[in-house]
Amino acid sequence: MTTTADTLIPATDITDNQTVAVTLGGKNILICKANGDYYAVDNQCTHQRAELTGGRIRNCFLACPLHGVRFDLRTGKPLGELTRVALKTYPVSVADDGNLHLELD
């Protein structure tokens, strides 16, 4: 079953290398913008379950603020040795009304 959030946030409210945490369908999700594109991932590091809010984004990689584990925003795959478990990613798009739309499964 797929649920679409029709009005998430206006796309103009998030700038490059910025994150915004939202809760949808009981899930804590981090909306990210990197290199002009929007991404959405679970807002919880797979290493020690720390929130990723406030993590630095560089070249489509998000670093966990707790231990620095980096995740590829495009795939959720981690880099390094601290974890091998990928982040859950969600399709996000900009709708005609200028709002970000997110698909939850």
Per-residue pLDDT tens listing for the chain (105 residues): 455 555 679 999 999 999 999 998 889 999 999 999 999 999 999 999 999 999 999 999 999 999 999 999 999 999 989 999 999 999 999 999 999 999 887
Q: Measure Cα distances from 94 to 6, 8, 67 in Å.
A: 10, 10, 32
**Do residues 93 and 38 lie in contact, with contact meaning Cβ atoms separated by under 8 Å?**
yes
When divided into structural domains, the chain yields a total of 1
**Do residues 32 and 19 lie in contact, with contact meaning Cβ atoms separated by under 8 Å?**
yes
Q: Domain range holding 41?
A: 3-104
CATH of residue 24's domain is 2.102.10.10
